[in-house]
Amino acid sequence: MRVELPSGGQLLFCAHHSKAHSEKLHQVALRIHDETDRLTRGAVG
């Protein structure tokens, strides 16, 4: 997950940590680019 901040900075998170901090990230982010669904798309099991 890539989080763009109003200050112009960016934060990058793995799927685990993006889920753990999702609520706060949505409060402070200007934009969120989340592709965590690609980790399980087409997975067998």
Looking at the domain assignment, is residue 42 inside a domain?
A: no
Of the CA atoms within 13 Å of residue 10, those in its CB half-sphere come to 7
Query: What pTM did the predictor assign?
Result: 0.78
Domains in the chain: how many in total?
Answer: 1
Model confidence over 25-35: pLDDT tens digits? Answer: 999 999 999 99
- Interatomic CA distance for residues 20 and 10, integer angstroms: 18
Looking at the domain assignment, is residue 43 inside a domain?
A: no
Q: 19: part of which helix (H) or strand (E)?
A: helix 15-20
Looking at the domain assignment, is residue 19 inside a domain?
A: yes
Per-residue pLDDT 10s for the chain (45 aa) are 999 999 999 999 999 999 999 999 999 999 999 998 888 876 666
pLDDT at 29: 97
Query: In terms of residue numbers, what domain contains 9?
Result: 2-33
